[in-house]
Chains A and B, each alone.
Chain A
Amino acid sequence: GAVVSQHPSRVICKSGTSVKIECRSLDFQATTMFWYRQFPKKSLMLMATSNEGSKATYEQGVEKDKFLINHASLTLSTLTVTSAHPEDSSFYICSARSGIPYNEQFFGPGTRLTVL
């Protein structure tokens, strides 16, 4: 199957700083990438959908100015958490959707963000 990586796997930052998380599809071109947030003992919550070369589509309640998404190429999407606060601490997971023959979403291993 296809492989999706995320970097970093774990990050600790101070309140007020910005953090960038990368999501890469390693062996396929991803027409669409998705960003999820997972709270403890909660399901994954879709934050936004990004298509290469266009603006991301954010889910209701997700601040687009706080969670900046860039999908500059068919293999890379980035999520930047701007002016992070402790309530932004969470597990962030990306997925990449390929076209034929898979036409399914492949998930990255996730990034644990802790904001002090």
Chain B
Amino acid sequence: GDSVTQMEGPVTLSEEAFLTINCTYTATGYPSLFWYVQYPGEGLQLLLKATKADDKGSNKGFEATYRKETTSFHLEKGSVQVSDSAVYFCALSDQGNNRLAFGKGNQVVVIP
């Protein structure tokens, strides 16, 4: 079935550093791809999405490009802030049924 793999382990970095979180997927069709963010004590929020190959999703300084050839959707931000500390989930959705498959999530901690 469809699945999403995120890089292992938490990510700790200093303020203004460059952030990359890797995400690869396996899908039989042409899924939509998403990044969700979960701030402490809150529900998941959609950060950005891309619905077809080569699309770039962007929001709040974060970007991710839908790469069909490498089945990847890596999340990047050029200069992180302490307020970016959260858990980030990569997900995909079969366009037919909207069911989401999530990666395991990455805890990001930004140190002042």
Interface residues of B in 12-51 (CB under 8 A from A): 36, 41-46, 49
Contact A107 B104, CB 8 Å, known A43-B89, A44-B89: no
| A105-B100 in contact (CB<8A) | yes
- Main secondary structure on B side of the interface with A: strand
Contact A109 B41 (CB under 8 A): yes
**Is B103 an interface position by the 8 A CB rule?**
yes
The chain B residue with its CB closest to the CB of A45 is B102
Q: How far is the CA of A105 from the CA of B65 in the complex (A)?
A: 21
Q: Answer whether residue B105 sits at the interface, using C-beta atoms and an 8 A cutoff.
A: yes
CB–CB A49/B43 < 8 A: no
Question: How far does the alpha carbon of A96 sit from the alpha carbon of B93 in the complex, in Å?
Answer: 15
Contact call A108/B43, Cβ cutoff below 8 A: yes
Q: Which of A1-54 contact B (CB under 8 A)?
A: 1, 4, 6, 32, 34, 41-44, 46, 49
The verdict on A43 contacting B43 (CB below 8 Å), with A32-B98, A97-B98, A105-B98 known, is no
Closest to B98 in A: A97
Q: Does B99 contact A (CB under 8 A)?
A: yes
CB distance from B57 to the nearest CB of A (A): 12
Q: Which residues of the partner chain A approach B36 to less than 8 Å between Cβ atoms?
A: 107
A93/B102 in contact, CB under 8 A: no
Write the chain A residue with the least CB distance to B10: A41
Q: Give the B-binding residues of A (Cβ under 8 A).
A: 1, 4, 6, 32, 34, 41-44, 46, 49, 93, 95, 97, 104-110
B residues near A (Cβ < 8 Å) are 4, 36, 41-46, 49, 89, 98-105
Interface pairs (20), CB distance under 8 Å: A6-B43, A32-B98, A34-B99, A41-B104, A43-B4, A43-B102, A43-B105, A44-B44, A44-B100, A44-B102, A46-B99, A46-B101, A95-B44, A104-B49, A105-B98, A105-B100, A107-B43, A108-B43, A109-B41, A110-B43
